[in-house]
Amino acid sequence: MIDEIQVRNVALIKEAEIEPSPKLTVLTGETGTGKSALLSSLKLLVGDRADASSVREGTDGLEVVGRFFTDDGDEEGHIVRRRVSADGRGRVDIDGHMASVKELARTYGATVDLCGQHEHQKLLDVTTHVGLVDAFAGEAAAEALGAYRAALKEARAAASELARVQEAGRASQEKLDEATFVLDRINEVNPSEEDYAQLEELLPKAEHAEALVQAAGAAHEAVAGDNGVSDVLSSAIQGLRDAAAYDAKLGKLADALESALIEAEDAAGELRDYRDSVDLDPEELERLQEREASYQHLLRSYGPDLAHVLRRRDEAREVVDAARDGGKRERAAKKALEAAEARLADAAKALEERRRAAAPELARAVTAEMAELEMGTAQLEISIETLPRSQWGPDGPDHIELMYRPGSGLSLRPLRKIASGGEVSRVMLAVKVVLGDADATDSLVFDEVDAGVGGATARALAEVLKKLSHTHQVIVVTHLAQVAVVADTHYVVTKTASEVPETTLRRVSGEERVHEIARMLSGDQSAASLEHARALLGEDVPS
Give the pLDDT confidence score for residue 403 in this predicted structure: 94
The count of other CB atoms within 10 Å of the CB of residue 241 is: 14
Q: Which of 393, 406, 389, 396 is nearest to 356 (CA)?
A: 396
pTM for the full model? 0.64
Measured CA to CA in angstroms, residue 314 lies from 15, 325, 372, 398 at distances of 67, 16, 68, 40
Give the pLDDT confidence score for residue 53 in this predicted structure: 86
Measured CA to CA in angstroms, residue 18 lies from 3, 4, 428, 487, 492 at distances of 9, 6, 25, 15, 11
Give the pLDDT confidence score for residue 542 in this predicted structure: 42
Give the pLDDT confidence score for residue 402 in this predicted structure: 94
User: What pLDDT, in 10s, does the model give residues 420-462?
Assistant: 666 777 888 888 889 887 777 888 888 877 777 777 888 888 9
Give the pLDDT confidence score for residue 15 in this predicted structure: 92
Can you give the three-state secondary structure of 148-195, one letter per residue?
HHHHHHHHHHHHHHHHHHHHHHCCCHHHHHHHHHHHHHHHHHCCCHHH
- Cβ atoms of 506 and 526 within 8 Å: the answer is no
Tell me how far apart the alpha carbons of residues 190 and 317 are, in angstroms, rounded to a whole number.
13
- Cβ atoms of 259 and 189 within 8 Å: the answer is no
Q: Pick out the chain residues at pLDDT < 70.
A: 116-121, 171-173, 326, 419-422, 539-543
- Cβ atoms of 67 and 3 within 8 Å: the answer is yes
Tell me how far apart the alpha carbons of residues 97 and 248 are, in angstroms, rounded to a whole number.
66
- Residue 497 three-state SS: coil
Tell me how far apart the alpha carbons of residues 491 and 4 are, in angstroms, rounded to a whole number.
13
Tell me how far apart the alpha carbons of residues 438 and 466 are, in angstroms, rounded to a whole number.
18
Give the pLDDT confidence score for residue 25 in this predicted structure: 95
Burial classification of residue 6, based on how many CB atoms lie within 10 Å of its CB (0-12 exposed, 13-18 middle, 19 or more buried): middle
Tell me how far apart the alpha carbons of residues 7 and 491 are, in angstroms, rounded to a whole number.
15
Give the pLDDT confidence score for residue 116 in this predicted structure: 65
The count of other CB atoms within 10 Å of the CB of residue 456 is: 10
**In this structure, what DSSP letter does residue 442 have?**
S
User: What pLDDT, in 10s, does the model give residues 215-264?
Assistant: 988 999 898 888 888 888 998 999 998 898 888 899 899 889 989 989 98
Report the DSSP pairing between strands 61-68 and 2-10.
antiparallel
